[in-house]
Amino acid sequence: MNSAFLVVVLITGIALVGAALLIAGWLSPRSFNPQKGEAYECGIPTRGDSWMQFKVGYYLFAILYLMFDVETVFLFPWAVILRDVGVAGLASIAFFMVILVLGLVYAWKKGALEWK
Amino acid sequence: MYDFSIITSWIDSFLRQYLPEWGALLIEFVLIGVALLLLYALIALFLIYFERKVCAFFQCRLGPNRVGPYGVIQSVADMFKMLIKELIRLNHVDQFLFNLAPYLVITASMLAFGCLPFGRGLQVLDFNIGIFFLIAASSIGILGILLAGWSSNNKFTLVGAIRSGAQMISYELSIGLSIITIVTLAGTMSISGIVEAQQNGWFIFTGHIPAIVAFLIYLVAGTAETNRGPFDLPEAESELTAGYHTEYSGMHFGFFYLAEYLNLFIVSGVATTLFLGGWMPLHIPGWEAFNNVMDYIPSIIWFFGKCVVIMWVIIWFKWTFPRLRIDQLLKLEWKYLLPLSLVNLAVMSILVVLGWHF
């Protein structure tokens, strides 16, 4: 039943965008002008394409994020049953966390968290 | 306290009297969709008005006061204006991705919106992994923002989208860890289960200091997650025009605007659910008369009342702090909030294992 509701909510979201675009397309004026289709930048013609290289710093943070996000996924089921497993659960997750925190410390010492 | 599932089960049995099962189900699904759409639109309109009024009062202005009494219909008028604006066709963008991005942003916020418990028995999506599903669904929005900035083929939008991506994925770690802190305390991931667990006291009161620290971390990270307040550098208007949605016009821009306000509501709704007891009334052990009076207030008012308070605090942030630089932003997350939330999680799990919580 819940997955049926999930589909209903998904369709609602798509229908909202679709219907609003349909109404907007119906109500809004339409005129074509080659200048209008230009990039909205500074008023002077744009130089070159924007699909180009960007700063590698963002990429480093994306990799670090992947590492910690996988950790988050592992922590969720552990958090649910922590009360039942008690001290054993605490000890076993401590190993996991220590290794991860060592990874963060390594990245910190290497300067991956600095913005240069 | 009044249970809204009485209404829904009454509608269900009423429809089943006259219709075959598939017909009743179909009508119920349509009703759920329409109700969600109405609530979504109403909350967005209310929030736009609320933000403009609060911001005006912070700056000693009056804010919108022409359309309707105290300007309450201003945001409705704005919505109509947005609908009749032209959708400009650009000749240098990646058309498919450019048109796909608003769908992703809106659908992500709608999925997360469906998970919120608005009152007793008023919740559309109630999975046993509820809160986990909510984070997963709301992170689809990042994809929409990245696509919007990338497909526009404009340097401003590209910079805005990449900043936004870096900011949102970074702060999602703190959000995830502060949610895990509460899941440890509640022992369940289901949203209705988390609300039920706060019957005898909200988690911010029963969870000792770790719950309060988690609440503060969540508030900061949630503000960053909505691209608002001091963390609005993806759409920093003084340097990037309008950030990732510079190239969007008319209703296309309206979707990003809508999703941004709804994300504000979702962040405050999750904070309400996890820390302030969701729709549970305020109970003080021993004060019987007080508790009975509190029980008399409907659950939906409790939920929206708490949400409005948290939204007010987040708007307050926006008009108080200056914008951060990208290096300060990432430093705040990776060097302060992340280690703090890891330590906080460790303290909370020790408290839960030793049974020292209330």
CATH of the domain at A57: 1.20.58.1610
pLDDT of A53 over the 70 cut: yes
* Chain B: closest CA distance from residue A85 (Å): 9
Q: Which residue has the tokens 């979504």?
A: B40
pLDDT of B358 over the 80 cut: no
Classify residue A6: in a domain, yes or no.
yes
pLDDT at A96: 87
b/e B79-104 (16+ beta carbons within 10 angstroms → b):
beebbebbbbebeebeeebbbbbbbb
Please check whether residue B192 is in contact with residue B3, taking contact to mean a CB–CB distance below 8 angstroms.
no
Classify residue A74: in a domain, yes or no.
yes
B87:A41 CB<8 A: no
Distance in angstroms (rounded) separating the CA atoms of residues B203 and B186: 8
A62:B169 CB<8 A: yes
pLDDT at B357: 67
Structural domain range at position A39: 2-110
B335:A108 CB<8 A: yes
Which residue of chain B has the CA closest to A61? Answer: B166
* Chain B: closest CA distance from residue A109 (Å): 12
Please check whether residue B152 is in contact with residue B96, taking contact to mean a CB–CB distance below 8 angstroms.
no
Distance in angstroms (rounded) separating the CA atoms of residues B203 and B222: 18
Q: Shortest CB distance from A27 goes to which of B83, B241, B342?
A: B83
Integer angstrom CA distances of residue B353 from A58, A62, A88, B195: 38, 34, 10, 21
CA count, 13 A, side-chain hemisphere, A16 = 30
A79:B169 CB<8 A: no
Integer angstrom CA distances of residue A75 from A25, A70, A85, B134: 47, 9, 14, 16
The model's pTM is 0.90
Distance in angstroms (rounded) separating the CA atoms of residues A8 and B169: 28
- The per-residue pLDDT for range B193-213, each reduced to its tens digit, is 888 888 877 888 787 788 899
A33 contacts: CB under 8 Å, gap ≥ 6? none
pLDDT of B181 over the 70 cut: yes
Q: Shortest CB distance from A16 goes to which of B110, B152, B165?
A: B110
DSSP-assigned beta bridge partners for residue B119:
B122
Report yes or no: B336 at the A interface, CB cutoff 8 Å: no
Total number of domains constituting chain A: 1
Helix (H, G, I), strand (E, B) or coil at B122: strand
Classify residue A115: in a domain, yes or no.
no
Residues of B in contact with A26 (CB under 8 A): none
Distance in angstroms (rounded) separating the CA atoms of residues B317 and B267: 14
Please give the backbone phi and psi of residue B119, each rounded to the nearest 5 degrees, phi first.
Answer: -175, 180
- The per-residue pLDDT for range A80-104, each reduced to its tens digit, is 888 888 788 888 888 888 888 888 8
Cα-to-chain-centroid distance, residue B45: 15
Q: Shortest CB distance from B353 goes to which of A31, A39, A87?
A: A87
A50:B154 CB<8 A: yes
Residues of B in contact with A86 (CB under 8 A): 353
Classify residue A116: in a domain, yes or no.
no
ipTM for the predicted complex comes to 0.86
Give the percent of chain B with pLDDT over 90. 8
Classify residue A63: in a domain, yes or no.
yes
- The per-residue pLDDT for range B234-273, each reduced to its tens digit, is 777 677 777 788 888 888 888 888 888 999 999 999 999 9
Integer angstrom CA distances of residue B305 from B279, B309, B336: 9, 6, 31
CA-CA-CA-CA torsion sign (B124, B130, B135, B140)? negative
Distance in angstroms (rounded) separating the CA atoms of residues B272 and B313: 13
